[in-house]
Amino acid sequence: MNLDLDSLKVLQNHNLPTNIFIFVLGISLLQFLDSKILTAITVFTIVAVNIPTFLEYTNSKPRVKGETKKDQISDDMFYNSRVEDILKRLKKFKKYNKVSYKIGVKYLRKFFKTVKVLEYDNLYNRNQYYELANDYLKEALNHLQSISVSMPERSLNDGIKLGDFEALKKTNELSDILKELHKECYYILLNIGYLFNEKWSEKPNIYTREIDLNTDRVENYNKNNEVNWSLY
């Protein structure tokens, strides 16, 4: 049990007159009893008097941090400071389409959890997890980008009031944020892929293969994969 200020106040705030009386009585008896025996008796008496308070303190329920909601952005997803900044800016778009937002966040959390698995030094088959992380990222971006369909267009009155006539300002802002997120997450995967390929070239095997990497984020067209995983 960690010692805190509350535990230090047990004797201060409970049965204070009784504790003072015992202490004074113990001092007055010093002339009749050995100091060690008297100290032991005094301590035992104070503890006995305050047993109910000690029990109440030890039985109190500890404060437990609330469980992280899987469909909400939280600090377990902040892979680095850039990701943290991007995700915090993304939060305000939840109100436009809560369903798409929550699904997108769920897949994004799966992406970061898979990235942590990919960083294990003793992970043997990284190909499977690498492809899974890439799929989670695409699915997350697709759902988050679909929020733009639910966004109201700005009216002419809003443009006149603010002197800003950009019709799709919020949609463009969301798109820019997701482009930043895609870029940052893609290069996280890219760095992991480089490290894996270096290790694989040093010790190749028939059970895994080099990861196909490209810095331009351009993929070969696959009609069988288009509907499920292509970016929105």
Domain segments of the chain as ranges:
5-58, 75-229
pLDDT at 1: 42
Which amino acid is present at 154?
R
pLDDT at 57: 46
Q: How far is residue 74 CA from its own chain's centroid?
A: 4
Which amino acid is present at 199?
K
What is the torsional sign of CA 137, 139, 142, 144? Answer: negative
pLDDT at 63: 38
Give pLDDT tens digits along the chain (232 positions): 444 444 444 444 445 566 666 666 666 665 665 666 657 676 777 766 666 665 554 454 443 344 457 888 998 999 999 999 999 999 999 999 999 999 999 999 999 999 999 988 787 778 889 999 999 999 999 999 999 888 877 665 555 555 555 667 888 899 999 999 999 999 999 999 888 888 888 888 777 787 777 666 566 655 555 544 455 5
Q: How far is residue 93 CA from its own chain's centroid?
A: 19
pLDDT at 30: 59
Tokens of 76: 């377990």
pLDDT at 147: 93
Q: How far is residue 136 CA from its own chain's centroid?
A: 18
Separation of alpha carbons 74 and 29, rounded Å: 61
pLDDT at 134: 92
pLDDT at 128: 87
pLDDT at 104: 95
Q: Which residue has the tokens 């997701």?
A: 178
> Could you tell me the maximum CA-CA distance found in the chain, to the nearest angstrom?
98
